[in-house]
Amino acid sequence: MTDEDAERGGPTSTWGTIALWVMGLLGVAVLAALLLTLREANHRRDDALAAQRHSYDVMILVRTLQGTIARSEASLGRYVISGDQQLGRLYFEDWRRADETIDRIEKLTHDNAIQSRHLAGIRDAFRERGDELALTALNTNYRKNNQALARFYHSSKAGSLTRINEGLDALVAEERVLLEARTSHAQASVRRSSIIAKVLAAFGLLLVVGVIWLGWAVVSALSEHAVARAEADAQRDRAEELASAVAQATEELRAQEARLRQIQKMEAVGQLTGGIAHDFNNMLAVVLGGIELAQRAVTIDPKTAARHLSSAHDGAQRAAALTQQLLAFARETAINPEPIAAAPLFEGLADLIGRTLGDGVTVRFGDESDGWCTRADRVQLENSLVNLAVNARDAMEGRGTLTVRALRRTVAGEDYVALAVSDTGCGMTPEVVERVFEPFFTTKPVGKGTGLGLSQVFSFARGLGGDVSVDSVVGLGTTVTLLLPRERARPASSAPPMPVAAAPVAPVQNPAGLHILVVEDDPRVLPATMDALSELGHHPRACDDPTRAAALLAGMDRVDLILSDVLMPTLTGPEMVAELAATHAGVPVLFVTGFAGGADEAIDLGGRPVLRKPFTLAGLERAVAQAAAAPAETRAAA
């Protein structure tokens, strides 16, 4: 390019650059306006959906009210004819529910003057109708059946019921008019937003065409080499940005589904932590106690030492198996279907569910499947059963019996393995049962549940070609049954857990010989504690059920100390101590717990000393000596 060409192309290049900047700013403005328009359209759509839901809720409640009133009057009619008091109670309960339904409708329509006038008329007619029916029920109650039957016949032709139905029909009609108006308004808003978006898109297209034309003009004024390099760099940068944006958006979309699946599992893992720490500390207590006892006996009695080492080895194996099971439950793993039989499934889940639910819930397993298998992902199946167990625990408020059974079922000629989870909780009403599988529906307080657990269980069963059913009775409990297709293949055996080694600990001696009642429900911790106390020279007496503690104390000639676990299924340690006879009120008490994070804060221990699991022989010796040496007046005050 010559100097003359450069001088001639300079102003053109400058004006072209300015024009490009202007068009770029206009393009940004158009893009911002387009985004605002789309957001406004989304808001309009959301408002329309909310209004539609409101109208549907009102219409559903109105129809529910009509059905409840009809059912109540039918029960009263049967009550008048038969004199059955149960039918009279049904009439009264349905009439009370109808009154509550009117209250709910008033809350939904309080901001609508027309609907409020309709409801005022309905309320007056409802009260008048209630008075008429109450007289009929009263006559029936006093055995004036003929008079009651006549009143019931005349009340069926009374105008109050007609006014109720006419008012409810008017209420529904008005709500439908509102629904149509709201829908039309929302559609018009969406159409306006769509037109604006199209106009902005067309204008943006024109801007793009203008930018391309100006860019071509500017490029023509520059040297070929510089223009080609600049264009290549710009195209490469834009391609990289676009590829990065597309990859990021794709990754986010893929992660959404995984997060939704994982959120309920993480909630369950969070609930596991306290119980996991409690039982893990129990295992460590067995390991440490067994190793220390084996050290003491290794040169004196090799057989006793071998027995203690075997106990420690068993505790270490259980701790390793617990760690592997918790990691398998918590990980986000790909679906890996395999044949699964009920017996090994229950064996693997027993500890996990027990720790999840806590010591207040008694868990029972029953296998009546006769070896039938189903094909599923083990982690997903375990997750589903744990979700059902956690819901059952919440329904029982942490105290009760959970039963997990495996059964054989044949439905429409197809074989299924049925896994039934039953609780002794509060049960659910039919209205709640109808909605339990809806995503995000929950009866728990805000912040206590996501409402995803049962919907994930439903999705899991349907994904395998099975089904889920719920049987619930208010006040008696609930049974949730998973129907999973039968698999003819046999499951593969799993490898045993790896053993865990332990380090030697120096022995501890205690010349004192106290008579101690040891109350511990864990069948592994109880013998280890008994052996440790005997090694220290004491005279322990075992009690594996806190409800038997009083009887055992009565049979002991001398009691110097009660050593008790805190959390047990039937009674907690403090509850057991509180129920002891007055003759043992002054006996020192030492509580032992493996609960994580301050069991003495969650349960009132009465100021008594606490020994934390896992403990060493030296720690046990010190705790026993301090508890036994506590002043009598301090123990009495506690």
Could you read off the pLDDT of 262-303 as tens digits, one per residue?
565 555 555 555 556 666 777 777 787 878 887 877 778 787
State phi, psi for 469 to the nearest 5 degrees.
-130, 150
The DSSP secondary structure of 434-476, one letter per residue, reads TTTTSTT---SPTTS--S-HHHHHHHHHHHTT-EEEEEEETTT
Q: Amino acid identity of 83?
A: G
Calpha distance 185→551 (Å, rounded): 77
Q: Are 355 and 276 in contact (CB under 8 A)?
A: yes
Q: Is the pLDDT of residue 331 over 90?
A: no
37 or 453, higher pLDDT? 37
Calpha distance 160→381 (Å, rounded): 56
Q: What is the predicted pLDDT for the residue at 275? A: 57
317 or 53, higher pLDDT? 53
Overall average pLDDT of the 599-608 stretch: 67
Collapsing DSSP states into helix, strand and coil, what is residue 183?
helix
464 or 198, higher pLDDT? 464
Mean of the per-residue pLDDT values of the chain: 78
202-216, 456-470, 590-604: least confident range: 590-604
Instruction: Compute CA distances 378 → 291, 329, 381, 391, 508, whole Å.
Output: 35, 9, 5, 20, 46
Calpha distance 536→514 (Å, rounded): 10
- Say what percent of the chain tops pLDDT 70: 78
632 or 463, higher pLDDT? 463
Confidence of residue 448 (pLDDT cuts 50, 70, 90): very low
State phi, psi for 350 to the nearest 5 degrees.
-55, -50
Calpha distance 249→236 (Å, rounded): 20
Q: What is the predicted pLDDT for the residue at 510? A: 43
Q: What is the predicted pLDDT for the residue at 27? A: 76
Q: Is the pLDDT of residue 447 over 50?
A: no
Q: Minimal CA–CA distance to 418: which of 492, 456, 366, 454? A: 366
Confidence of residue 627 (pLDDT cuts 50, 70, 90): very high
Token pair listed for 617: 């022989």
Q: Minimal CA–CA distance to 179: which of 57, 63, 52, 53? A: 52
Q: What is the predicted pLDDT for the residue at 442? A: 67
pLDDT tens digit sequence for 518-565:
999 999 899 999 999 999 999 999 999 999 999 999 999 999 999 999
Q: Which residue has the tokens 């332990």?
A: 502
pLDDT tens digit sequence for 338-392:
899 999 999 988 888 887 888 889 999 999 999 999 999 887 898 889 889 988 9
Calpha distance 536→513 (Å, rounded): 8
Calpha distance 12→14 (Å, rounded): 5
516 or 197, higher pLDDT? 516
* Residues shown for the chain: 638
Q: Judge if the upstream peptide bond of residue 614 is cis by omega within 30 degrees of 0.
A: yes
101-105, 261-265, 316-320, 495-499: least confident range: 495-499
Q: Is the pLDDT of residue 30 over 90?
A: no
Determine what percent of the chain falls in helix, strand and coil, rounding each to the nearest 5: 65, 10, 25
Q: Are 338 and 528 in contact (CB under 8 A)?
A: no
Q: Minimal CA–CA distance to 292: which of 617, 554, 67? A: 617
Q: Is the pLDDT of residue 158 over 80?
A: no
pLDDT tens digit sequence for 574-586:
999 998 867 788 8
Q: Is the pLDDT of residue 156 over 70?
A: no
Q: Is the pLDDT of residue 507 over 50?
A: no
Q: Minimal CA–CA distance to 171: which of 99, 110, 122? A: 122
76 or 103, higher pLDDT? 103
Calpha distance 450→432 (Å, rounded): 16
The DSSP secondary structure of 269-294, one letter per residue, reads HHHHHHHHHHHHHHHHHHHHHHHHHH
230-234, 455-459, 461-465, 497-501: least confident range: 497-501
